[in-house]
Chain A
Amino acid sequence: MDAPSVVHAAAPPASTRIALQGINAFYGEKRALFDVNLEIPDNAVTAFIGASGCGKSTLLRCLNRMNDTIPGARVEGRILMDGTDINGADIDPVQVRTRIGMVFQKPNPFPMSIYENIAYGPRTHKLVSTKADLDELVESSLRRAALWDEVKDRLGKPGLGLSGGQQQRLVIARALAVSPAVILMDEPCSALDPIATAHIEALIDQLRKHTCIVIVTHSMAQAARVSQITAFFHMGKLIESGSTDQIFTMPKVEQTQDYITGRFG
């Protein structure tokens, strides 16, 4: 238990999917992240926790280069995904995002039918050539997002007509349809009621068997329930990371201890 970011023995044995090396982020003059180093394993859920404004969402947006879309935002450091630096000068951010799916705080289905929402990604990236293949991909994506049974009879209806929880599963299915290696979730349950939250959490647990999932959450309880790895941030710095069990039961840093005991439950 001496090494700072060693994976706990109870966590599934996994290879490192993403390695962050010396990440600094700036919004204009304001510095949002200070020298973050972290390894994110495959086939596991990694939770970023910390108070509002601690930089956890900023770091998440570094992972698929969403910060590129914010004027004045700047990211330094290396983000190695399977050995390739996605921050590199020769990297196309669009290609990065194709391999890394993202789910947002508020469900954001496009104002199209359920079917069209799922078909959007495969069509954009020309993943399928026939209508039959597309139908199949839509169905399998919806099944993996545990939504198929609820919507199979109304695929032509607008996605915005679904309930909040269903919408969030719809956009997860939308992300799954392009078979991403990583799925980023930015407080995916903060706009949902407890039942819908339980659905999403069960789904996350299913999905991690095949994917690397990174989730930002403000709920300690949720981090404890769904994640295997937890990283605690404070004022733009990574304070401590390790297996979720270890972080929640015997954190090594006092700040982590304070945060968890102050907010837990």
Chain B
Amino acid sequence: MTTPAASPMIGARRLHVGDTAFRISLHIAGAIVVIVLLSILAIMFIGGKLAFDTFGLGFIWGSEWNPVTQIYGALPAITGTLVTALLALLIAWPIGFGIAFFLTETCPSKLRGPLGVAIELLAAVPSIVYGMWGFFVLAPFMSEHVQPWLTATFLWIPPVGDSFFWFTAPPIGVGMLTASLILAIMILPFIAATTRDVLQSTPQLLKDGAYAMGATRWEALTGVVIPAVRGSLFGAVFLGLGRALGETMAVVFVIGNAIRMPDSLMAPSATIASVVANSFPEAEPGTLDLAVLLGLGFILFVVSFSVLAIARLLLRQERMS
């Protein structure tokens, strides 16, 4: 029914205009993602250069922070960031893992769906709400009940040198410990959800093999499942750590915002993110004050970039194999 002309198929070239435009625009979109990341890095570095030039390595190692004398050392903020984030992880990971195990293995199937949704909703609550809750509910509770007890109970732990007294501090409610707790609550659903996804991705065959050998659920988990997905489990942990390192609003309410080396786990302190948010209103463009904040931003960027990169590599490795 078709009488072909000489060559109806010749004419339209392989590089069609529509397809070319389509491909180019998509490549541009992809490039924008990379450009944004590189620009953040570059802008932070260029903006913070004055701080690095002025203080050299002392900007990172200096423990004095004094806007009046214009001496800025980031060590207190870096310490606060690392301590609160790691402490939060220490609290959140066992609970998050427990939730994940419960959801994948022991939970009655009727509860599994709603419970999973609840955990994911908890992850969606804006961080400022966690901050407010920490400030108005958790901090008073800490100051009245938890901190006096901690101080009294752990008085026997010897101090580190003569400057760090662990749990001995005036019970004012705000400080590193409270910040860590809020961070822990914040990253808990996140770790639980990611870990659950990892555990769910283990082939049933693997577990069946262990069960067939007479293993209990816990033995199947520790003996077969965890070794099989170890990388991804660490990935989930690092992802949570990345979150905790850069969190601002949940921390700013409860950390106490004192930029000095902490003398106790309960002492008011600061994190890089909280310093940047708090000091920003006083930092005029072009001044050392702003350069210092951008320099801090650069440090935070490098730290969280490394943590997140490790997390993604660990998670991806598993996905490939």
Contacts and interface: CB of A to CB of B under 8 A. Distances in A.
Interface string B1-27: 110100111111110100000000000
A92 B16 contact: yes
B1 A99 contact: no
Contacts of B2: 99, 179, 181
Nearest to B19: A94
Contact of B8 (A93, A95, A210): A95
A82 B10 contact: no
Contact of B12 (A86, A88, A92): A92
A71 to B, nearest CB: 16
Given A93-B14, A94-B16, A86 B9 contact: yes
A96 B9 CA distance: 6
A84 B1 contact: no
Given A179-B1, A179-B2, A210-B1, A84 B7 contact: yes
Contacts of B16: 92, 94
Contacts of A93: 14
Contacts of B10: 84, 88, 90-92, 95
A96 B11 CA distance: 11
Interface in B3-58: 4, 7-14, 16
Contacts of A90: 10, 13
Nearest to A92: B12
Nearest to B6: A84
- Most chain A CB neighbours (cut-off 10 Å) among B1, B7, B11, B13: B7
A67 to B, nearest CB: 15
Interface string B144-159: 0000000000000000
Nearest to A89: B14
> Chain B: interface residue count, which band?
10 to 19
A86 B4 CA distance: 13
B171 to A, nearest CB: 62
Contacts of A88: 10
B4 A95 contact: no
Contact of B13 (A86, A92, A99): A92
A94 B12 CA distance: 9
A92 B4 contact: no
Residue from the set A81, A82, A94, A211 with the largest chain B CB neighbour count within 10 Å: A82
Contacts of A86: 9
Nearest to B14: A92
A84 B4 CA distance: 10
Interface string A73-105: 000000001101010101111111001000000
A84 B11 CA distance: 13
A81 B10 CA distance: 12
Contacts of A99: 2, 4, 8-9
Nearest to B15: A92
Nearest to A210: B1
B12 A95 contact: yes
B9 to A, nearest CB: 4
A91 B12 CA distance: 8
B11 A95 contact: yes
A80 to B, nearest CB: 11
A175 to B, nearest CB: 14
A86 B14 CA distance: 12
A91 B7 CA distance: 9
A98 to B, nearest CB: 8
A81 B9 CA distance: 10
B4 A82 contact: yes
Contact of B9 (A91, A179, A210, A211): A91
Given A84-B9, A88-B10, A93-B14, 4 more contacts: A81-B4, A84-B7, A90-B10, A90-B13
7 contacts: A81-B9, A92-B11, A95-B9, A95-B11, A99-B4, A99-B9, A179-B1
Lowest 5 CB-CB distances: which A-B pairs, in order?
A95-B9, A92-B12, A82-B4, A181-B2, A84-B7
